[in-house]
A and B are shown apart, each in its own frame.
Chain A
Amino acid sequence: MTRSFFARHPSVLVFIACLAFFTLLVTILSEGLGIGVISTSFVKTLGKTLCLCLVAIAMDLVWGYAGILSLGHMAFFGLGGYMIGMWLMYERTRDIVVTSLADVEIPPTPQEISDAIGNQIFGVVGSSDFPAVWAFAPSLPAQLALVVLVPGLLALVFGWLAFRSRVTGVYLSILTQAMTLALALYLFQNDSGLRGNNGLSGLQNLPGADTIPQSLISLWFLWGSALALGLGYLLLAWVVSGKFGSVIRGIRDDEARVRFLGYSVEGYKLFVFVLTAVIAGIAGALYYPQAGIINPAELAPIASVYLAVWVAIGGRGRLYGAVIGAAFVSLVSTWFTSGQVPPVDLGFYTINWVDWWQVVLGLSFVLVTIYAPKGIAGLFDLAAGRFPPRRHGAALGPDDGALREKEAEE
């Protein structure tokens, strides 16, 4: 117990080393600073993947460790993206407006500038006034604070209501889906103030950085995403390593028992829910400038379901499993849906992977759940010769739905 954190959790050090190596390798192979083997758009894909890994470890904490199957964390991710997107879009449009008005004879008044920006941004939804939600858009620090505050507060209110009423299991999952759906539908409306289904676009252009090529900017974001993932991983590994981790795993396996030990289960759930929502928001804020565009479809309920699928395929209940799952599935997914995979001609039918990928993903999810509940990360156990105790299939927890022996670890 007196040994250092890393000595007790060698996987954390291995992970950080792998992440650093990966980032260095991509930098060396990039167009921006290296030998140009990897295209800028692929650097962006990799950077986005790191952000997905970050939201996946948050999902692992809330689901794999605390047992709360939230199907709403991609909504927090999307909200983070919207918050940073507002500043990017405002500031960039202001640059353009100011430049274009620079040549007119009478210098424009601040009101004229503001109107012109409003016209540019909200023209698509037939308006030119700034909605109240854009009040802080001109300020980067304020929007950065909102990246954390908006998902955090939404999670706090939602979680407080749900956990206080002791909504658990499937009902909680459905409730989180309802929350995502409601949020997406709200954002789809033109008068929500966030440009309806057009969403926010042009986010890849950093204000005041017109002269800097995207090949370089893509690397900045790759580094930023890698740093955020590394720090997030360290934080969560620390959170689950001590007594706190012990308590939340206890809540996952037998919530009532934890309560009778004197721990306020609701408080812990709320803590975990809010913390992971904030991490999801930060991940989203790093993701969408690399994606360039965000629209309400990104918050669709299915996105959060995919997140759960990644974590399940990667192996829940351990952070590196979530990273592996998110990276592997999202990259393979990008590959299949990009149309680069040659179609399979069966004679009577041609399998077009763009359409059939969903089916493959769904099937692998079902197969993993049934035959390999530990996911891809379970392979590490096989390699290390670590097997669960043989309990002849008896359930580990006292309740149905508690962990089965195959899933238990640590």
Chain B
Amino acid sequence: MSTLLEVSGVSVTFDGFRAINNLSFQIGKAELRAIIGPNGAGKTTFMDIVTGKTRPDTGRVIWGDKSVSLLKMSEAQIARAGVGRKFQRPTVFEDQSVFDNLLLALKKDRGPFPVLFYRSSARDRERVEELAGEIGLADQLPRKSGELSHGQKQWLEIGMLLAQDPQLLLVDEPAAGMTLEEREHTTDLLVQAAKTRAVVVVEHDMEFVRRLNCKVTVLHEGAVLAEGGLDHVTANKDVIDVYLGR
């Protein structure tokens, strides 16, 4: 299995506080991975580093077949290179319709001039409708996304992520605020997506992680504490001490 993303020896310090401590992480091209860890373990900060929001003090972040370093690229360049991200708090453009949100995310030329002259084609609109169907928002397309429920916003953001057609999806707590049924649907979406690309899911809910049925990385104090199947890591003594045993 060839590697899509390789993070090695990365450290980040915020005002003297070490949020990420010599972290290393790898993921393959079509792989689903769950990251768990207590609050403040550095899960979101890890995503910030990969997406270019936070610059690490040391370490390397290597991407793709050509092994380019993501550290020299801007957030937008990283996104265009194929890294999509869903935030912990749902962040959709509340002032705009569900349709416009999805259209904005659709994989297209991102430069100001092509966008200025862009007019949506029938195929683009079909694709948006198809995506809306997948995330269960088919009949909500003309609605302002600010009017959606919390769970629907989470889905919309997942839909936007899929619309970007990235090679790597970083999904921060996708199931927060969802009903049981919605969670199951979310699991399906993520498992489905991971068939053709890499998906990293950060989640607190163990049941949700169990249903993903994938390799798990446990973060603690900015470093990897354990890695492996869910049963394997939950049996790990360190993990029980810092996380599960609380």
Interface of A with B (CB < 8 Å)? 1, 239, 242-244, 246-247, 249-250, 253-254, 256-257, 259-265, 267-268, 271, 389, 391, 396-398, 403, 405, 408-410
Given contacts A250-B104, A391-B146, contact A261 B95 (CB under 8 A): no
The complex places the Cα of A243 from the Cα of B116 at a distance, in Å, of 7
Number of interface residues of B (CB under 8 A): 35
The complex places the Cα of A226 from the Cα of B237 at a distance, in Å, of 77
Which listed residue, A246, A253, A264, A267, touches B103 by the CB 8 Å rule? Answer: A246
Q: Does A264 contact B93, Cβ atoms closer than 8 Å?
A: no
Chain A residues, Cβ within 8 Å of B147: 389, 391
Central interface residue in A259, A403, A405, by most chain B CB within 10 Å:
A259
Closest to B83 in A: A260
Chain B residues, Cβ within 8 Å of A265: 76
Chain B residues, Cβ within 8 Å of A389: 144, 146-147
How far does the Cβ of B156 sit from chain A's closest Cβ, in whole Å? 12
Interface of B with A (CB < 8 Å)? 51, 53, 74-77, 79-80, 84-85, 87, 89, 91, 93-96, 100, 103-105, 110-112, 115-116, 118-120, 125, 144, 146-147, 160, 164
The complex places the Cα of A213 from the Cα of B144 at a distance, in Å, of 55
Given contacts A256-B53, A389-B146, A405-B146, contact A264 B95 (CB under 8 A): no
Q: Does B115 contact A264, Cβ atoms closer than 8 Å?
A: no
Which listed residue, A247, A257, A262, A268, touches B91 by the CB 8 Å rule? Answer: A257
The complex places the Cα of A253 from the Cα of B93 at a distance, in Å, of 7
List 8 additional contacts besides A243-B120, A260-B85, A262-B110; criterion CB under 8 Å.
A242-B118, A243-B115, A246-B93, A253-B95, A254-B91, A254-B93, A263-B76, A396-B146
Q: Does A247 contact B146, Cβ atoms closer than 8 Å?
A: no
Q: Does A259 contact B146, Cβ atoms closer than 8 Å?
A: no
Q: Does B164 contact A1, Cβ atoms closer than 8 Å?
A: no
Q: What are 19 residue pairs bridging A and B, where the CB atoms are less than 8 Å apart in the complex?
A: A239-B116, A243-B104, A244-B115, A244-B118, A246-B93, A247-B115, A253-B93, A257-B91, A259-B74, A261-B105, A261-B110, A262-B79, A262-B164, A264-B74, A265-B76, A267-B111, A267-B112, A396-B146, A410-B95
Q: Does A249 contact B125, Cβ atoms closer than 8 Å?
A: no
Closest to B104 in A: A246
The complex places the Cα of A242 from the Cα of B115 at a distance, in Å, of 8
Which listed residue, A247, A267, A408, touches B104 by the CB 8 Å rule? Answer: A247
The complex places the Cα of A249 from the Cα of B74 at a distance, in Å, of 21
Chain A residues, Cβ within 8 Å of B164: 261-262
Central interface residue in B93, B96, B120, by most chain A CB within 10 Å:
B93
How far does the Cβ of B169 sit from chain A's closest Cβ, in whole Å? 12
Chain A residues, Cβ within 8 Å of B96: 246, 249-250, 410
Closest to B97 in A: A410
Closest CB pairs A-B (n = 6): A262-B79, A262-B80, A259-B75, A396-B94, A389-B147, A271-B112
Q: Does A408 contact B146, Cβ atoms closer than 8 Å?
A: yes
Closest to A408 in B: B95
Chain B residues, Cβ within 8 Å of A409: 95
The complex places the Cα of A257 from the Cα of B79 at a distance, in Å, of 11
Q: Does A253 contact B94, Cβ atoms closer than 8 Å?
A: yes
Q: Does A396 contact B79, Cβ atoms closer than 8 Å?
A: no
Chain A residues, Cβ within 8 Å of B116: 239, 242, 244
The complex places the Cα of A141 from the Cα of B93 at a distance, in Å, of 44
Chain B residues, Cβ within 8 Å of A242: 115-116, 118-119
Which listed residue, A249, A261, A408, touches B79 by the CB 8 Å rule? Answer: A261
The complex places the Cα of A190 from the Cα of B144 at a distance, in Å, of 56
Q: Does A398 contact B146, Cβ atoms closer than 8 Å?
A: no
The complex places the Cα of A403 from the Cα of B93 at a distance, in Å, of 11
Chain B residues, Cβ within 8 Å of A244: 112, 115-116, 118
Which listed residue, A247, A249, A398, touches B89 by the CB 8 Å rule? Answer: A398
Given contacts A246-B96, A261-B104, A261-B160, contact A268 B112 (CB under 8 A): yes
The complex places the Cα of A397 from the Cα of B51 at a distance, in Å, of 21
The complex places the Cα of A125 from the Cα of B130 at a distance, in Å, of 71
Q: Does A262 contact B76, Cβ atoms closer than 8 Å?
A: yes
Q: Does A263 contact B95, Cβ atoms closer than 8 Å?
A: no
The complex places the Cα of A256 from the Cα of B89 at a distance, in Å, of 13
Closest to B120 in A: A1
Central interface residue in A239, A261, A263, A398, by most chain B CB within 10 Å:
A261
The complex places the Cα of A256 from the Cα of B78 at a distance, in Å, of 13
Chain A residues, Cβ within 8 Å of B120: 1, 243
Given contacts A239-B116, A243-B118, A244-B115, contact A249 B51 (CB under 8 A): no
Q: Does B110 contact A403, Cβ atoms closer than 8 Å?
A: no
Q: Does A259 contact B118, Cβ atoms closer than 8 Å?
A: no
How far does the Cβ of A333 sit from chain B's closest Cβ, in whole Å? 32
Closest to B107 in A: A262
Which listed residue, B53, B118, B125, B144, touches A1 by the CB 8 Å rule? Answer: B125
Q: Does B79 contact A259, Cβ atoms closer than 8 Å?
A: yes
The complex places the Cα of A302 from the Cα of B164 at a distance, in Å, of 44
Closest to B81 in A: A262
The complex places the Cα of A405 from the Cα of B145 at a distance, in Å, of 12
The complex places the Cα of A389 from the Cα of B110 at a distance, in Å, of 30
Q: Does B76 contact A264, Cβ atoms closer than 8 Å?
A: yes
Central interface residue in B79, B80, B160, by most chain A CB within 10 Å:
B79
Closest to B51 in A: A260
The complex places the Cα of A142 from the Cα of B51 at a distance, in Å, of 47
The complex places the Cα of A263 from the Cα of B106 at a distance, in Å, of 12
